[in-house]
Chains A and B, each alone.
Chain A
């Protein structure tokens, strides 16, 4: 989230799309209800189903799964053609006036630089035009044909309300009401929040869905302001924290990058990442990348990290290619992986094409499941009839199922989707023989290290170099590890006059204290301050709201620097004055930046310097035109890989996302609209959390079995009665369950043709107390988003038929 759960209360319009907060995040959704009750905020929901959030909404529009870009681009077109933009904001805080280099072009859905053979873009023509001073060329009049403004006007013109209706199935007047309500916030005194979740990310064009939303918010001037923002609701309790730590193939903690083969030295890695500002007087905060990187290496390798050995840079593994979850299981499926450690993870349920995942696991020599409960994955080798029909004897994988403590049996910090790091205390002793993940992994690492010391072996040095300076090496404490995350001064840190500003051994108060000479450490700079010289701020429990803006600045610690709204300098106009009294948040008081939140800005940097509020960007402003995207600097309507249409109605030549990666043999099992004419999507139920609570009695009782949600029209067409068992199958697998025939889903009229959509709750499986079901992802296609490789779970093709079985 750019903003926070409690900040939703400050919104005038709440737009939920690609998520269903009332069902999946009910206790956060209360802030939507508060905004409605106390401010008279309007809630609008766009979703294929009339879901629980829609039931609370002032306006609902249906949409066919997978067509979000067309809908959102329609809103962008509406804002541009009706000139409903917050002009002063857009002109000063976005790249709308920047000139794009000559040679940039867009035709038939493709940008210049496309290579069909490699399914990728050469982005050379997507760059800005640069002046002789090294800064970008701008046209403040916005009339230059290659200004971002003119390019956008041309680019989005095709997404008329009629086109939106034709592609998405949203009736024109319902679409227009959404556009009008969004536009109503393109003023200085109103704001809109956009809330989304996996309904936007889990598409082969998911990142562009979110780009669209960010662009709408920028055009309306809703980023960095209270009640605004682009807010990812997120899944697991600590998915934010674990993503921050970067247990992802290409990540270092704090959004730094893993070294790759082409970066043989630390300097070669850093040289590529200088982040020089491309406008005068800009912050371009990533210029400090080097300090953060060296401090991280000092935490990883301790005293062994020295200037002479590049702070241990070469001990880190270098990536040949990124192993996201889809590639990981594809490589495993090819028989190239020996072992897997599986910590609180259930991949046969949660990864695309379960059959492929199960076949992949069957090729492992060993699998280790670390989980408080038994998972379907830990028992993937067991035959569960039609629900997991495997040949047990032929599976040679050794499987370990290790008992791990549950959340109440350990302490530590969680980071919620508002970026707030909060401590939880241990309530109970470990259950039976269970141990903490920390104890298990420490034990494993120490055993492996001892084996190397005893027997020797391949490249022992990186293992022994890892700093393991804990009081009890078998049980590093949460407190010790939290301190490492924050970082400390290794020697006395002195200012330019030689005065000691931070004594050796002291925790750092801010990442501004980090240095690139090895005199500081700190695992992840964005958390610095969370455990500073004044103790562990994740433990803070002062719930006062001094500004009255629902800002709880003394509760826990919100990264970075305890900021609750990112880019909050944008809540003031270029002169530093609040845009309006209603949205007064962070402003210039004549001497410094102040207000309800920690300013996301150098506190003494006067407005007259012209520094932009988007301090992380080399531009100093935000990007309406974004060259770093893999699939284009501007969004384009792309159909899902499994589309119910004969072709893309906007750009007939485009098939799926032209730069999405598809592995050999996965393209072959995509289904076509002739055999699989029905669009399917998956979602969660309020009673369940993923594939986990099916083992929890209370939840299994309240929502005991898998079902298939279908419209009355489809039921009539297929002769399906309420409560009757149905079979749903894709080109990869099948599931069976009772039909819930509902008015919540209605057929769409797409490009003149009737398209049915069904809904599939995802929370069931063959282990636990709920009624046995096949993995829902036995249906889903094995392809991900071109930027993030997030699997396309939310739009795929199936067929459906009634089968004999009990009728409820």
Chain B
């Protein structure tokens, strides 16, 4: 977590303090306190604010994402996104893509659970993570065992798995990129590509 206290956080902490503690100290009577308690708490006081980066183009505009707990799912969900005015490149601005980024995280086409399409089938069916990962691992191992080449025709150790390919996403973090490299090459893949060319 970024521990710097921004101006916005400072105001928020201050605001919550006033609502929660100082009313009585200021000498309000019981009725007023009851009235104050009935007022919906300041929304932003319940909101977490983090610095993030636009997922789209390579300008990497700074964004501030606000999130709050959804009572139904008990999960932190993003409630608002705005440009980060501290960011030296975008200075708080966002383009029509970045400005709509909240609709991306709640897109209708978000995949909710692992889906599986059998050979020749005309539909996806939901499956468990365990089923999906077991099946993929098994398919990969079967193919690796069938097609892995340890030595080429000149007897040079080449350790390659020529029949498996990996398209590596360029919207993933650097840390994801490294795990991707490690896993793909660790298994012996050569067919690896990202979006540098396209």
> Is B22 located at the chain interface by the 8 A CB criterion?
no
Tell me whether A416 is interfacial, beta carbon within 8 Å: yes
- Answer whether residue A401 sits at the interface, using C-beta atoms and an 8 A cutoff: yes
| The residue from A401, A441, A484 contacting B114, defined by CB atoms under 8 A apart | A401
Asked if A789 is at the interface (CB within 8 A of a chain B CB), the reply is: yes
Q: Is the CB of A433 within 8 A of B129?
A: yes
B193 within 8 A of A: yes
CB distance from B77 to the nearest CB of A (A): 5
A413 with B136: CB separation less than 8 A: no
**Is B120 an interface residue when CB atoms closer than 8 A count as contact?**
yes
Q: Is A801 an interface residue (CB 8 A)?
A: no
Taking the nearest CB of chain B, how far is it from the CB of A325, in angstroms?
5
Q: Given A247-B194, A448-B187, is A27 in contact with B90 using a C-beta cutoff of 8 Å?
A: yes
A420→B87 CA distance, assembly (Å): 12
Give the interface residue-count category, chain B. 35 or more
Pairwise interchain contact A27-B89, C-beta atoms closer than 8 A: yes
Among A62-70, A236-244, A661-669, A714-722, the stretch in contact with B:
A236-244
| Interfacial chain B residues near A428, Cβ < 8 Å | 65, 67, 75-78, 105
With a cutoff of 8 Å between Cβ atoms, the chain B residues found around residue A392 in the complex are 120-122
B9 sits at the interface (CB 8 A): no
- Count of A residues near B, CB < 8 Å? 168
Given contacts A237-B60, A318-B160, A400-B136, contact A247 B177 (CB under 8 A): yes
Interface residues of A in 11-47 (CB under 8 A from B): 24-28, 30-31
Interface residues of A in 598-612 (CB under 8 A from B): none
**Interface segment, one of A168-176, A341-349, A490-498, A613-621:** A341-349
Instruction: Give the complex CA separation of A445 and B185 in angstroms.
Output: 11
Taking a contact as CB atoms closer than 8 A, the residue among A394, A425, A435 that contacts B2 in the complex is: A425
Asked whether A403 is an interface residue with its Cβ less than 8 Å from the other chain, the reply is yes
- The residue on A at minimum CB distance from B197 is A790
Cβ proximity bits B131-165 to A, threshold 8 Å, 1 near / 0 not? 01111111111011101101010101111111111
8 additional contacts (CB under 8 A) given A320-B152, A401-B116:
A245-B178, A393-B120, A402-B114, A408-B78, A433-B114, A484-B178, A539-B2, A687-B97
Give the chain B neighbours of A437 by CB distance below 8 A. Answer: 169, 172, 176, 179-180
> B183: which of A246, A417, A441 is its contact (CB, 8 Å)?
A441
Rounded to whole angstroms, the CA-CA distance of A550 and B190 in the bound complex is 42
Tell me the bound Cα distance from A436 to B179 in angstroms: 11
Q: Are A341 and B58 also in contact (CB < 8 A) when A317-B159, A325-B198 are? A: no
Which of the residues A238, A328, A541 comes within 8 Å of B174, measured between beta carbons? A238
A residues 678-725 near B (Cβ < 8 Å) are 686-689, 692-693, 695-699, 702
Contact partner of B173 among A241, A400, A448, CB < 8 A?
A241
Between A and B, 19 residue pairs with Cβ closer than 8 Å are: A30-B90, A233-B57, A236-B195, A238-B58, A247-B184, A317-B160, A351-B198, A374-B111, A398-B116, A400-B114, A414-B53, A422-B62, A428-B75, A432-B112, A437-B169, A443-B133, A452-B141, A698-B102, A699-B100
In the assembled complex, the CB of B112 is this many whole angstroms from the nearest CB of chain A, namely: 4
- Top 7 nearest A-B pairs (CB, nearest first) are A344-B169, A412-B173, A698-B100, A416-B60, A247-B168, A234-B58, A236-B170
Which of A300, A413, A437, A485 is packed against the most chain B CB atoms within 10 Å?
Answer: A437
CB distance from A438 to the nearest CB of B (A): 5
Contact call B158/A261, Cβ cutoff below 8 A: yes
**A122, CB-defined interface residue at 8 Å:** no
Q: Which residues of A contact B159 (CB under 8 A)?
A: 314-318, 459, 462
Q: Is there contact, CB below 8 Å, between A242 and B174?
A: yes
From A316, which residue of chain B is reached at the shortest CB distance? B185
In the assembled complex, the CB of A740 is this many whole angstroms from the nearest CB of chain B, namely 18
Interface pair B168/A242, CB less than 8 Å apart: yes
Asked whether, in the complex, the Cβ of B156 is within 8 Å of the Cβ of A249, the reply is no
Cβ of B95 within 8 Å of any chain A Cβ, yes or no, is yes
What's the least CB distance linking A280 to chain B, in Å? 36
Interface centre among A300, A320, A407, A466 (most CB of B within 10 A): A407
**A658 at interface, CB cutoff 8 A:** no
A333-362: contact bitstring with B at CB < 8 Å (1 yes, 0 no)?
000111111111101001100000000000
Q: Shortest distance in angstroms between A321's beta carbon and chain B's nearest beta carbon?
A: 8
A582 located at the interface, meaning its Cβ lies under 8 Å from any Cβ of chain B in the complex? no
B76 close to A427 (CB less than 8 A): yes
A734 at interface by CB-CB < 8 Å: no
- Which residues of chain B have a CB within 8 Å of any CB of chain A? 1-2, 4, 48, 50-62, 65-67, 75-78, 81, 83, 86-91, 93-105, 107-122, 124, 129, 132-141, 143-145, 147-148, 150, 152, 154, 156-198
Asked if residues B104 and A382 are in contact (CB atoms below 8 Å), the reply is no
A242 touching B196 in the complex, CB below 8 Å, given contacts A6-B88, A406-B105, A539-B2: yes
Contact of B51 among A340, A452, A541, A686 (CB under 8 A): A541
Which residue in chain B gives the minimum CB-CB distance to A700? B103
- B88–chain A nearest beta-carbon distance, Å: 4
Give the chain B neighbours of A117 by CB distance below 8 A: none
Contact of B103 among A28, A332, A393, A697 (CB under 8 A): A697
Judge if A767 is at the interface, Cβ distance under 8 Å: yes
Identify the closest chain A residue to B180 (Cβ): A247
Complex CA gap A300/B117 in Å reads: 35
In the bound assembly, the distance between CA atoms of A431 and B108 in angstroms comes to: 12
Least distance between A302 CB and chain B CB atoms (Å): 11
The CA of A609 and the CA of B16, in the complex, are separated in Å by 64
Contacts of B178 in A (CB 8 A): 245, 253, 481, 484-485, 523
Chain A: CB-nearest residue to B93? A27
Q: Is A743 an interface residue (CB 8 A)?
A: no
Q: Which residue of A lies closest to B66 (CB)?
A: A427
Min C-beta distance of A410 to chain B, whole Å = 7
The reply on A504 being an interface residue by CB < 8 A is no
A399 interface hit (Cβ, 8 Å): yes
* A234 contact set on B, CB distance < 8 A: 57-58
Closest CB of chain B to A596's CB: distance in Å? Answer: 14
* Pairwise interchain contact A425-B50, C-beta atoms closer than 8 A: yes
Q: Closest approach, in angstroms, between the C-beta of B146 and any C-beta of chain A?
A: 8
Contact, CB under 8 Å: A445 / B186: yes
Q: A249-B192, A400-B135, A443-B133 are in contact. Are A345 and B107 (CB under 8 A)?
A: no
Report the nearest B residue to A349, measured CB to CB: B198
A222: interface (CB < 8 Å): no
Assess the B156–A552 pair: CB atoms within 8 A: no
Bound: A500/B77 CA distance, A: 49
Q: Which of A315, A318, A692 contacts B156 (CB 8 A)?
A: A318
- A26 x B60 contact (CB < 8 A): no
Q: B98 and A371: CB pair below 8 A?
A: no
Decide if A686 touches B100 in the complex (CB within 8 Å).
no
A55 within 8 A of B: no
Query: CB-CB < 8 A to B91: which residues of A?
Result: 30
Residues in A whose Cβ lies below 8 Å from that of B179: 437-438, 441-442, 476, 481
Residue of A whose beta carbon sits closest to that of B147 = A338
The digit string for A237-271, where 1 denotes a CB below 8 A from any CB of B, is 11111111111110001000010010010000000
A247 touches B166 (CB 8 A): yes
